[in-house]
Structure 1
């Protein structure tokens, strides 16, 4: 059995273990207004997609590709008494808003002008959060997960979801990866439209897993066309990035100057990225590196990259691939600090009981962070600009010191 085939088997097994059985299809059909729970909260979001419409109001979009960008105004009801970090899926239809996530509104916006009107109506002091989902996601998966993140983070932002054509099958890894390539220009244009909008003050791009490839490629295209990433796109969060470290190095270089601040969530026990590494030539995935070990530690410090290590954080995700969304402390960190561009290295950082910070390379700015937090569940290495790292020093040194094409 080859290592590549073994990796594919591991990938299938791990995702099969995490598969959700028994979910009803058609959960996006809006519930009746009189069924809404008065204790429930709602999240309104704009959803942009390069997926093909399904023709079914219960699913809206399929996993197939469309050359046209579609935009939908959606409102999601989130039940009270829910554990933070969880999505309460409907057990049957119609959904029960008192206990489950339910769609309140799903309205297609026919033009860019209508999307601008929506943005004006939902403006939150000019702060926009764009989320890009990962591998093996249906349209409704990404909608409900993003609604959960927005609600649990408490972020005062305009939520915009970009969902790309995933067939939501563990056997379609390559199809999904090619779909991210297919969607690069659509995401690029979405980000450019936001950056050009005078009502928008700043944009945070948050991407997960395979979606980090799409996010980095769209930002790279923006930089190549314009000489740099638009200044309003000042914050990029990459959660469990399924990115080859060598490829990420080139992407980072081509973002131009100045670059946005980039924060990466990593976890060495990420089983999905372990499988991805096996089927991707054995090259390290950015989301699975150990930032405290050499050569990564020194290279991260020199490159001034922000890394949050979630290895010791526990969640209900059996793959350990979605900790950023399922840990209450982490989603609060995203909403209260990272999205608003606040530094992590000060005495005001609070991630809940038993959660501490370790900051590498910036000891003088740590403030009152206690020395005994070196064994705390969360490790943070903070700097200003990121650069991916690898075990082969030649290419990394070249990128650190100048244009890798020279």
Structure 2
């Protein structure tokens, strides 16, 4: 395991990361379409962007990002050199907002009455979170204006422990944003999507909302956690406090997520929620007991070497998942453990009534 960790650190050290220069507005000439995004962050301002410092007050922005005609699903076409809207994701407009202006825009739902908020994971910069949300929005073709909550990640591989603390630092701010957005008069449904350590932050926010008696907020939430980096025992404790949500929480897991394997190693070889095995009857029982839906998406292609970014493909296959659920009789309110077979386009339960595994599924 130490060898694997060393290899990952070496790989990360060689990888090129986008600087805050990508946040500077450029021409939209040649771009195929524009995506409007909102951001809320408790990072400290630094130059043209935001750093890993922990700010005492939040900042809000509105971005327009041009999507190139050559865009491929799940990919972020980063600029290499001067940004060109014909081939790159390009910021074309950037506006600073105050809190009321942000809430007015963030609380304007799509035609189905829903709004959405994305919480990024460990080792993310502000610009990486922004452009990842742009990719998700471009592939999903959502109606409402997507919102990024960017907490003060160190944006370094070696910042794992600091990121854990930063997520807890951001909990109150995330609770405030969720509460204020959900209270906007036209909002009927609030999709809350978190990846990796962002899932841990979301669960802590839900726990706080429950303890504060904010049932009216929790009832609007549709919570989706992709590869959540949460100790499995901590996750169960969080679920015990939160209780079943009106719309069951959805958990996307993968057995071959190497990033979560490393996280498990760093945490004393303790199981992570994002690597739960849906073939284990204990997981099926726990899903029913806590009122959640666990879906194994190991069959979905991962673009990174660690198998941790499958969530980037979820936007493109989201409508497919919905139609499959409707076709195969898997209700959005149904709980349990399921397997998504990307090749066969089917969601199936790996369990018989007695908890035995169905061969071949």
TM-score range, shorter chain: 0.7 to 0.9
Q: Aligned to 1:36, what secondary structure does the other structure show?
A: coil
8 Å CA contact 2:324, 2:346 repeated in 1: no
Structure 1 match to 2:335:
none
Quick check: 1:324 aligned with 2:311? yes
Query: Displacement, 1:173?
Result: 0.6
8 Å CA contact 1:136, 1:168 repeated in 2: yes
Q: Aligned to 1:27, what secondary structure does the other structure show?
A: helix
Q: Aligned to 2:96, what secondary structure does the other structure show?
A: strand
Q: Distance in 1 between matches of 2:122 and 2:267?
A: 15
Q: Aligned to 1:64, what secondary structure does the other structure show?
A: strand
8 Å CA contact 2:130, 2:148 repeated in 1: yes
* From 8, 32, 36, the counterpart of 1:14: 8
Structure 1 residues without counterparts, runs of 5 or longer? 1-5, 364-372, 377-406
Quick check: 1:308 aligned with 2:295? yes
Q: How does 1:277-296 map to 2 (within 5 A)?
A: 277-296=264-283
Query: Displacement, 1:31?
Result: 0.3
Q: Distance in 1 between matches of 2:63 and 2:41?
A: 13
Q: 1:260 to 1:347 in 2, by over 3 A?
A: closer
TM-score (norm 1): 0.78
Q: Distance in 1 between matches of 2:214 and 2:187?
A: 21
Structure 2 match to 1:137:
124
Per-residue Cα deviation, 1:370-401 (whole angstroms, up to 9, x for no partner): xxx9746xxxxxxxxxxxxxxxxxxxxxxxxx
Structure 2 residues without counterparts, runs of 5 or longer? 331-339
Query: Displacement, 1:353?
Result: 5.7
8 Å CA contact 1:79, 1:100 repeated in 2: yes
* From 128, 145, 149, the counterpart of 2:136: 149
Q: Aligned to 1:207, what secondary structure does the other structure show?
A: strand
Q: Distance in 2 between matches of 1:117 and 1:302?
A: 38
Q: Aligned to 1:273, what secondary structure does the other structure show?
A: helix
* From 357, 371, 375, the counterpart of 2:347: 357
Q: Distance in 1 between matches of 2:56 and 2:73?
A: 37
TM-score (norm 2): 0.87
Quick check: 1:180 aligned with 2:167? yes
Q: 1:374 to 1:88 in 2, by over 3 A?
A: farther
Query: Displacement, 1:253?
Result: 1.6
8 Å CA contact 1:73, 1:106 repeated in 2: yes
Q: Aligned to 2:199, what secondary structure does the other structure show?
A: helix
